[in-house]
Structure 1
Amino acid sequence: MADWSERATSCWGKLQGNETMHLPLVRHLQDAGDVMRALWAQQPRNVRRLFAESLGGEDAACAFVCFLASVHDLGKASQHFAFKAYPAGRPDVADAMRANGLDVPLHVDRPRGHALLGQAHLVDWLARRYAADPLKAQHLGGIVGGHHGSNPTDTELVDARIALRQEPPGWAEVRDEIMDVFATRSGAEAYLEQWLSKPIPVEVQVLTIGLVIMADWIASDEYLFPYGPPEADRAERALAKLNLPGAWSPVESAGDPDELLRSRFPRLGPTARLNAMQREMVRVAEEMETPGLLLLEAPMGSGKTEDALLAAEILAQRFGLGGVFVGLPTMATSNPMFARVKHWLDHVPSDGVTSVNLAHSKAGLNDEFAGLMPWARTAPAIYDDEVGTREAAATVHAWFLGRKKGMLANHVIGTIDQALFAGLKAKHVVLRHLGLATKVVIIDEVHAADSYMRTYLKRVLTWLGRYGTPVILMSATLPPSQREELLRAYADGRTGKVQLPTTDGYPVIHAVDDAGATAVGVELEGNDVHVALTTIDDGMDSLVTEVGQRIEDGGCVGVICNTVARAQEVFDVLSRRLDCEVVLLHSRFLAPHRAAREADLVRRLGPSGDKRPDQIVVVGTQVLEQSLDIDFDLMITDLAPVDLMLQRIGRLHRHDRSRPKGLERPECLIRGVDDWFTDPPEFPGGAERIYGRDSLLRSAAIVEDTSSVAIPRDIPTLVARAYQITPDVPEAWGAAAREATKVASCDQSSKVRRAGDFLLDDPRRKSNLNALINGPASDPDDSHGYRQVRDSEDSLEVIVVVDDGDGYRVPDDVGPYSGGSIGYSTPEGPLARALAACTLALPHSLSGMWIVDRVIDELEAAVDVSAWQASPWLKGQLALAVSPEGVGELAGRRIVYDLSHGLIVESEQKAIRQ
């Protein structure tokens, strides 16, 4: 470190506990700058282009990020940091600084953070060296001030400047030396006047903080950058050990679009062809002049996933994106999507191996994802029927498994929450922005986001528009008002106000880019499917009669209920009174049991049809309306909002096959109304709590005057009618409907206001980063952090264990460790993972605010899980013990778990009677 004064080299950057070694500050800063240079070279073209356009070219952009990474810990050259050597037990380090003329006190009253101090000094240095306007200087200073994940306020910066002026001589000179040396080394010296002459876009500032944090974390890894004497090629050696993959770079594919489909999705078969919608989607992606948003509205089962992935590959190749993010409504829908996206990636020609990540709280329990872990890979990751075994195009890299790093992998599949978190005013949110900005962002079933979630989604879309990040949104049943909200949110960030086209077409592709907004209608091949709608009484006798009569000659029937308790009741009745197989599926099964049921249903009722039973009734909840590719001969559903009923109808006659006698024509029977003949009709309390009276009244009105629907032609008309401002209902319902609409409007306004408490600032109203992230949102990576982007109370999750009298064991039929003894010590890794899979979310009746404390107390008293705290799989979890027969008690309620019903929570009165 010959370029440095002895005073500068005496400042410490990192200590090794009570050991004798430490890392000088200037060496850590140099490490960070060297790491940044390598990271910058790996950034996808879209990020490098954004920076180059804003900062004066590629060389200037590289100098910018390397300079700021090199000075990120500038504030450690201060009394406020240096004195910490004493409480850390390293007076030798403090003595070395003292010997070089730097006053190191034994204590500092109210020490300021080094990121805050670094920002204050950098702004001061720019003013002295370059006569910089203070506001423009903050555009660079805020990057240093935010490198720990949050940004100081203007008031804090004033206080920091005062604190720095009160330091004795020497410290400011060291900080100036650091600034001067790294301005020269990074090449920033040649560009600083230019950068300070005009505003640096806030999106560049945010992404730079993300890159600086990455560089700092890598340079702080003692395994990669050991303490002790410096060695030659230090950064090069470290980065070779780390071996981070570069940006995804799909090879341009030319030729027949049908061949593109077959080569990317070989499981579709050698004769597969693009349908009209897919062909149009490919064309629109190929002809977009600039990166933009594509909103695809098309019927259920029409190939939207393949659509989106083909378009994502084209957009990534054309505009230089480094990966994809695919967001789904739930963990249960994310898991099968992970397998689909992984298979697609393995068939996209690209340069080098990239990284993939499954992003949700239970990702480690996904067997396919777990099999891609670095320590689990023992063989080539894929087998292709045509080319034999070969290395996978995307695999899991250990670095991206670390806390807060998951979104930085090249490809991420997870819940929509992972994207919505980028709209939170939460610490380290810049890493989520960096992760999303470098990818083509795909969000499926976007209609599932309620008004609370859409508040975050719209803000994220505005930021993505600023970044120029391509976005693909998909839905089969999107209300027109929501479509407009989403298109405008992206346009606000990308191009400002645009004239949105009006169209009644369906399917339809809306596109927004720098050229404006367009809508392209598509004619689907084939005829509409005409589905008869029939209302039936809600009584069990009526249900049994309808099902029994209609499947006399065979048939596969789906019965969808709005609540778990209702589905369990229907299952019990049908199981007793029908002479056929009856299966129940809902969210209160242990994850392995639910996954096995879903896989079995797809195998028997899916597109292949090889194992299709002659007679079966599948009773389920909303889990049947999302993502499962299953096909029923007859659908029976509780009344629900129209868009969700259409999703359910999408599982009716979904595939082209012969049908049993009497079920040749698709029909949907609608129940779940206490009395169809009252004005207005009355609904079960559970349905009203979930969906609200307003949407149920609107849906009931449509059902009452609609004897059949044509799928897909009628989908947009019905959805638009259900969501229009004034409810279209019979005159006799008018007063009740208006009151319900008023209540729903107030509730929606309340949701939006609550979401605003945690909402990240609009990029159009932010010029610098001061106070950008210092709000009330907690860390999304913490337990239950996802609740901040969903308007719901925390559910209480428990691990189910079996108490057999001699101790506890793992439940049956959950995998290799089924029935295994748990013991009283910390469970080993595989056993702990098996236990972690046996989780259930308790219903609201046992997790509501009025009862949750009592429930937790009882759970903690019943099963001692103190040994679990040493296991990363089980730490912080609670256990619910049941007998070998699956029976337990909690808060005065009898609880039963069995393989047929899942979790049953009986009422307190019933438990007392028994």
Structure 2
Amino acid sequence: MVNKLLVGKVDDNFNWLPLWVHLQDTAGVMKLLLENWIADATVESCGMQFENFYAIAEFVAATHDIGKATSYFQAIICKKVPILYDNIVSSGLIVCENMLHRGKTPHSYAGQWILQSDTVGINLPESVANVIGAHHGAPCPGKTLNGVDDLLVVYPSNFYGEEDVSSIQSKQWLSIWNEIVNEALMLSGFDSISEMPDLTVDAQVLLSGLLIVADWIASNTRLFPLIGLDDDFEKIDCDTRVEEGWNRLQFPEEWHSEVCNMSKQIFQERFGFEPNAVQEAVIKAVNETNTPGIFILEAQMGIGKTEAALGAAEVIASKCNSKGIFFGLPTQATCNGLYDRLYEWASSVSDETVNAIRLAHGGANYNKNYQQQVIQGKTYVYEEEIDSSVYVHPWFQGNKKALLADFVIGTVDQFLMASLRRKHFMLRHLGLSGKVVIIDECHAYDAYMNQYLEQSIEWMAGYGVPVILLSATLPLSRRKELVNRYIKGIRRNRPKIEKQKPSVSSDWMDNISYPLLTWTDGLEVHQCNILQQTQNRNVKINYLHGVEQTVGLLKEKLCDGGCACVILNTIRHAQEYYRAIKDLIKDAEVLLYHAQFTMEHRLEKEEILLERMGKKSSDQKRNRFILIGTQVLEQSLDYDADILITELCPMDLLLQRIGRLHRHNRCDATHHYSRPKRLQQAECYVLLEAISDGESGLYDKGSQMIYGDYLLIRTLNILPSEIVIPKDIPTLVQRVYDEKDDCDLDITDVRYLQAKEDFIVKKGKKRNNAKAFLLKYPRKTIQGMLTNEYLDKTQKGNMSVRDIESSIEVIIMKRYQQNKIGFVCSDTGNSIRMFDCNFLSEEDGVEIARQRLYLPRLFANPGLLYRAIDELEKMQYEMSVWQRNPWLQGELILLLDADNTAQLCGYDLHYDFELGLVVEKEDKNG
């Protein structure tokens, strides 16, 4: 009876829920998650029999909030509803209102101490108790809970309500704890605590994540409502509550791949075309692999690596009992570009099952296609019947739950954060543990990000999660490190495997064949040198110096038609070249594309450039069209340039840019070549800096700041006059990144030696910086995993998987008249959208929130950051009502005047559809 008086939850309307009911709700939800949602692969990765895993999962669900059955917690929660406090006290329990040790015993950690402490005597295995302590997202800090660190000894009044732990009243609390444990044992099927096995670290992490999910669902008052003070709380039917709550949730059924062997016919059904040689090699490898591990596909741009990976993932999912796929890409733009393709594929593999798909990145809420699926999902939640389409289940919205949906496409950061020492990391691990992981463009990460990539791969290997890495090409050292880290992860928690050695020679480490597939089957490493079916392309390499030569070349090459792409390394440089080219080549259409446009304008520009330079572009559409942009043109966009001009960049990125040159076959059925005669030979012009005295320099300071001297010097020195694509790709990349090869440079040259030293030092610093936040694999326990006594509060606030400076995100709006603010219009003839400063609907808030971009990083410098924020906040004073809109809360608005200009921290900022955001130092004399 006393147990049933304890309070689990209350709200501001004097509704409440007994603790015992919430524990039963959570245990019931856990059972349904085990039966209907959790992947078999997740259970298998814990190294336990299914029945043991299920039993422990139900036990921790039924005891997870035992830390609420304490004097301290009951005193706090009953403040809102004093009558509940009176009921408890009148039963004889001591609930101490004098909280001498406020905040010292959070209920999640208190629960772990109760279950594990020597002084209580329940003696739950430490590894199981850790799961209870971690159910609010952070494992208990410290190394031990017994002896001098036992908080039941240090703060007895928080648990018992008094210092005398031997009193009759104190023993009532002991009796309640034992009652909760005994009920949990009965529910889970254990006869006693002694039957519980110790959990591996993997099991502790994944069970913690699963417990969080069950607790969150059971805590949702729409699904599991609270009761009134007058309701009969002793006769609550928990089985009925759980059944009704689960039915209201309508959790999506899990996906199971039925393709254990991918044929050419199935591949064609999925993607609409027969597999090419690269895709066939990948599918053959996964079909024949018994224990899929890591797969690294190195192949040229545009060959269809995405389709190869998705086809392979279906087979691997069937073999590994996985129930979903995570597809990680470098940027939000690449994610948005792939979303529709992944959605179509997910629909094609889901004939009868409703599945959840999630777009996981910071701008997902502003992607119109994705939001349409979210709206569809919200509609379905309340319907009796659901059709067989793929949709976005609303439960999976929210950053912490990003990876729990079956199909997830997101920035690679979502995967890398599995190794970031951050609260709720176990939810990421749980989400990934039942999936096949695909990571694209894995060559595009620096030394800092690579630390997180390698550690996350090791975590995945320990869980038995298959990982597919896609790249144009990898330096030999990177391929070796990635495979070895996966093998290292396989060996953990497997004593027998630890003594085994891979039964294969080390030839795979030095192989520079191309295209190339490297994969593991258990501990065996295999490779396939893929026979190239596509013809080699000869690309001539020439050089230009400065904007004048660039304009002259474009006039010459495009006089008979065709299109060109010019890629610069900085936005400022791109804007300068755009102005000059547009001004000096009057009869050409010029389009500028870079990262400092709003999302709406970037999408409009993408449509234009794909219409003019995409796979289906006509000769007429391509005629004298010039695309100018920055690194955003290196990847994701499937366009074809007749001629390429690019600033110097490291070799692998240069080859990525060259991958957009003559990308598509533009011969018709009669082999008529549609490219103008002057552009039928693929030519790449490398743009170097022009020096005033007529001599050519190497590259500008902007390129140096971004890439550093070392890789630029090496790339320039070995860049041949002709590159054979794809044949030369691996050799050129290996040479630039092999530090033992000096690339025919004068090793006594002071500038080169300094560049090499700077490169090595910078790489070392990045690695060391990453280690401060790295979530390494502990030996025995998850306890203390998030503890880092070496970090101060500032450093903890800067935890990130990218080593970049912070920047300020703003929403760009324009004042049209008094109290009327609107969008900056594009050149496509769209009508101007205007909004009232004093009123804004939620739907309008969504539209406004899409008008966002990041300011240049100079405004995030310590000397300008707070001043910039202060000035931006003052700009939006007259739209203060907008802050009440859920889409605009906390947002900063850059308000432009009638000339599309604003002043910020002594700089003039101009924005329009043509140039994007232009930042110039304010002219004091103007």
The answer to whether the 8 Å contact 1:43/1:246 transfers is: no
The reply to whether residue 490 of structure 1 matches residue 486 of structure 2 is yes
The answer to whether the 8 Å contact 2:286/2:292 transfers is: no
Select which of 108, 116, 119 maps to 1:123: 116
The reply to whether residue 73 of structure 1 matches residue 65 of structure 2 is yes
2:202 equivalent in structure 1: 203
Select which of 647, 650, 654 maps to 1:645: 654
Cα deviations across residues 488-508 of structure 1 (Å, max 9, x unaligned)? 222211136757523111111
Cα deviations across residues 263-304 of structure 1 (Å, max 9, x unaligned)? 1113xxxxx221111001011111222131111111000000
SS at match of 2:136: coil
1:222 equivalent in structure 2: 221
Structure 1, 791-800 or 601-610: larger mean CA deviation: 601-610
The answer to whether the 8 Å contact 2:612/2:625 transfers is: no
1:862 equivalent in structure 2: 875
Cα deviations across residues 196-239 of structure 1 (Å, max 9, x unaligned)? 4xx42111110000000011111111121122342352101110
Q: Please give the alpha-carbon distance, in whole angstroms, between the structure 1 residues aligned to 2:814 and 2:275.
A: 51
The answer to whether the 8 Å contact 2:346/2:407 transfers is: no
SS at match of 1:448: coil
Give the TM-score normalised by the residue count of structure 2.
0.90
2:767 equivalent in structure 1: 752
Q: Please give the alpha-carbon distance, in whole angstroms, between the structure 2 residues aligned to 1:606 and 1:206.
A: 46
The reply to whether residue 260 of structure 1 matches residue 266 of structure 2 is yes
Task: Give the C-alpha shift of residue 884 in structure 1.
Answer: 2.8
1:149-164 equivalent positions in 2, closer than 5 A = 149-154=137-142, 157=145, 158-162=149-153, 163-164=155-156
1:215 alignment partner AA: A
Shift of the 514–597 alpha-carbon distance from structure 1 to 2, 3 Å rule, reads same
* Number of aligned positions between the proteins: 870
2:819 equivalent in structure 1: 807
SS at match of 1:686: helix
The reply to whether residue 106 of structure 1 matches residue 101 of structure 2 is no
SS at match of 1:690: helix
Select which of 4, 15, 29 maps to 1:35: 29
Structure 1, 891-900 or 240-249: larger mean CA deviation: 891-900
The answer to whether the 8 Å contact 1:373/1:398 transfers is: yes
Q: Please give the alpha-carbon distance, in whole angstroms, between the structure 2 residues aligned to 1:676 and 1:492.
A: 55
1:764-843 equivalent positions in 2, closer than 5 A = 765-775=778-788, 788-813=800-825, 819-843=832-856
The reply to whether residue 405 of structure 1 matches residue 405 of structure 2 is no
Shift of the 85–667 alpha-carbon distance from structure 1 to 2, 3 Å rule, reads closer
The answer to whether the 8 Å contact 2:376/2:392 transfers is: no
Task: Give the C-alpha shift of residue 403 in structure 1.
Answer: 4.7
Q: Please give the alpha-carbon distance, in whole angstroms, between the structure 1 residues aligned to 2:747 and 2:77.
A: 78
SS at match of 1:912: coil
Task: Give the C-alpha shift of residue 844 in structure 1.
Answer: 2.1
The answer to whether the 8 Å contact 2:7/2:84 transfers is: yes
1:569 equivalent in structure 2: 576
Q: Please give the alpha-carbon distance, in whole angstroms, between the structure 1 residues aligned to 2:696 and 2:455.
A: 38
Structure 1, 391-400 or 895-904: larger mean CA deviation: 391-400
1:58 alignment partner AA: F
Shift of the 514–773 alpha-carbon distance from structure 1 to 2, 3 Å rule, reads same
Q: Please give the alpha-carbon distance, in whole angstroms, between the structure 2 residues aligned to 1:161 and 1:100.
A: 23
Q: Please give the alpha-carbon distance, in whole angstroms, between the structure 1 residues aligned to 2:704 and 2:596.
A: 21
1:535 equivalent in structure 2: 543
SS at match of 1:748: helix
Shift of the 487–459 alpha-carbon distance from structure 1 to 2, 3 Å rule, reads same
1:624-635 equivalent positions in 2, closer than 5 A = 624-635=633-644
1:83-482 equivalent positions in 2, closer than 5 A = 83-86=75-78, 88-111=79-102, 112-124=105-117, 128=121, 137-154=125-142, 157=145, 158-162=149-153, 163-164=155-156, 166=163, 167=165, 168-189=170-191, 192-196=193-197, 199-228=198-227, 229=233, 230-231=236-237, 233-252=240-259, 257-266=263-272, 272-374=273-375, 391=387, 393-482=389-478
2:366 alignment partner AA: L
The answer to whether the 8 Å contact 1:297/1:506 transfers is: yes
2:656 alignment partner AA: Q
The answer to whether the 8 Å contact 1:558/1:617 transfers is: yes
Q: Please give the alpha-carbon distance, in whole angstroms, between the structure 2 residues aligned to 1:855 and 1:361.
A: 22
Q: Please give the alpha-carbon distance, in whole angstroms, between the structure 2 residues aligned to 1:577 and 1:202.
A: 65
Cα deviations across residues 246-266 of structure 1 (Å, max 9, x unaligned)? 2211223667x2222221113
The answer to whether the 8 Å contact 2:592/2:627 transfers is: yes
SS at match of 2:513: coil
Give the TM-score normalised by the residue count of structure 1.
0.91
Q: Please give the alpha-carbon distance, in whole angstroms, between the structure 1 residues aligned to 2:819 and 2:789.
A: 44
Q: Please give the alpha-carbon distance, in whole angstroms, between the structure 2 residues aligned to 1:677 and 1:722.
A: 31
Q: Please give the alpha-carbon distance, in whole angstroms, between the structure 1 residues aligned to 2:282 and 2:577.
A: 42
Structure 1, 96-105 or 714-723: larger mean CA deviation: 96-105
Cα deviations across residues 390-437 of structure 1 (Å, max 9, x unaligned)? 955421111111351121111111111111111111111111111111
Paired-residue identity, %? 33
Shift of the 247–591 alpha-carbon distance from structure 1 to 2, 3 Å rule, reads same
SS at match of 1:737: helix
1:597 equivalent in structure 2: 605
1:713-728 equivalent positions in 2, closer than 5 A = 713-726=727-740, 727-728=742-743
Task: Give the C-alpha shift of residue 472 in structure 1.
Answer: 0.7
2:495 equivalent in structure 1: none
1:387 equivalent in structure 2: none
Q: Please give the alpha-carbon distance, in whole angstroms, between the structure 2 residues aligned to 1:377 and 1:860.
A: 34
Task: Give the C-alpha shift of residue 442 in structure 1.
Answer: 0.8
Task: Give the C-alpha shift of residue 572 in structure 1.
Answer: 0.7
Task: Give the C-alpha shift of residue 375 in structure 1.
Answer: 5.2
2:758 alignment partner AA: V
1:202 alignment partner AA: V
2:670 equivalent in structure 1: none
Q: Please give the alpha-carbon distance, in whole angstroms, between the structure 2 residues aligned to 1:127 and 1:90.
A: 30
Select which of 876, 881, 888 maps to 2:890: 876
2:331 alignment partner AA: T
1:280 alignment partner AA: A
Q: Please give the alpha-carbon distance, in whole angstroms, between the structure 1 residues aligned to 2:842 and 2:516.
A: 49
Shift of the 189–711 alpha-carbon distance from structure 1 to 2, 3 Å rule, reads farther
Select which of 36, 40, 44 maps to 1:45: 40
Unmatched tracts of structure 2, length 5 or more? 228-232, 492-497, 667-672
- What is the CA RMSD across the aligned residues, in angstroms? 2.6
Q: Please give the alpha-carbon distance, in whole angstroms, between the structure 1 residues aligned to 2:3 and 2:622.
A: 78
The reply to whether residue 511 of structure 1 matches residue 526 of structure 2 is no
2:865 equivalent in structure 1: 852
Shift of the 156–680 alpha-carbon distance from structure 1 to 2, 3 Å rule, reads farther
Q: Please give the alpha-carbon distance, in whole angstroms, between the structure 2 residues aligned to 1:644 and 1:295.
A: 19
Shift of the 60–379 alpha-carbon distance from structure 1 to 2, 3 Å rule, reads closer
The answer to whether the 8 Å contact 1:559/1:636 transfers is: yes
Q: Please give the alpha-carbon distance, in whole angstroms, between the structure 2 residues aligned to 1:46 and 1:127.
A: 36
The answer to whether the 8 Å contact 2:819/2:838 transfers is: no
Shift of the 602–443 alpha-carbon distance from structure 1 to 2, 3 Å rule, reads same
The answer to whether the 8 Å contact 2:143/2:783 transfers is: no
Q: Please give the alpha-carbon distance, in whole angstroms, between the structure 2 residues aligned to 1:521 and 1:656.
A: 25
The answer to whether the 8 Å contact 1:444/1:474 transfers is: yes
SS at match of 1:346: helix
Unmatched tracts of structure 1, length 5 or more? 1-5, 267-271, 381-389
The reply to whether residue 666 of structure 1 matches residue 682 of structure 2 is yes
Q: Please give the alpha-carbon distance, in whole angstroms, between the structure 1 residues aligned to 2:327 and 2:660.
A: 23
Q: Please give the alpha-carbon distance, in whole angstroms, between the structure 1 residues aligned to 2:829 and 2:685.
A: 42
SS at match of 2:538: strand
Structure 1, 642-651 or 161-170: larger mean CA deviation: 161-170
